[in-house]
Structure 1
Amino acid sequence: MSGKTSGIFDQSTEDIQFAYSLKIALIGGLITTLGDAISTYASSIAIEESIQDSISQSQDKKQLEDRFKKIEKQLEVIQNELNA
């Protein structure tokens, strides 16, 4: 009878170890999923920042072009006055 009791005890220990390893695997999977979600969110933020930078650079470029046009017109006026 002690052999039968020992077999049941060994099986219970194996079940406990198996259940413990499944819990650890589940926790690992949850952490991995959370990490993936954070990574995706970070990528989304990076894309938004890139778009904002592009818009800002475009606006800066337009302002510089407008200033250059204004300076060119002023130079033309000065040249015309000197030639007159």
Structure 2
Amino acid sequence: MTNAREPGTAPVADWKRGTAVFDRGSQMVGVVHEQHGTKLILTRPSGLRWHTRTVAVRAANDRELIQLRALVRHNRNVRAPAAIRGER
């Protein structure tokens, strides 16, 4: 999960796109969308997107994975009736 950039520097966490993580700064679980060096862009099923640093995240635990799955189901249920009514 880590790789050193240069000798004598701290390793940088390498997160794969789609990995569920917990951001300590925002106190939210999200999914890795992009990584640029030590910066991450995380997303939630609602479409919320935010930037954070790799040192501020850790892999999501079982409870947080359950929360993320519940958010996916909730957003699917909320958006489905709107699509039927022709809303976005």
**Normalising by the residue count of structure 2, what TM-score does the alignment of the two structures yield?**
0.29
Greater fraction helix: 1
Greater fraction strand: 2
**Normalising by the residue count of structure 1, what TM-score does the alignment of the two structures yield?**
0.30
Max radius of gyration: which structure? 1
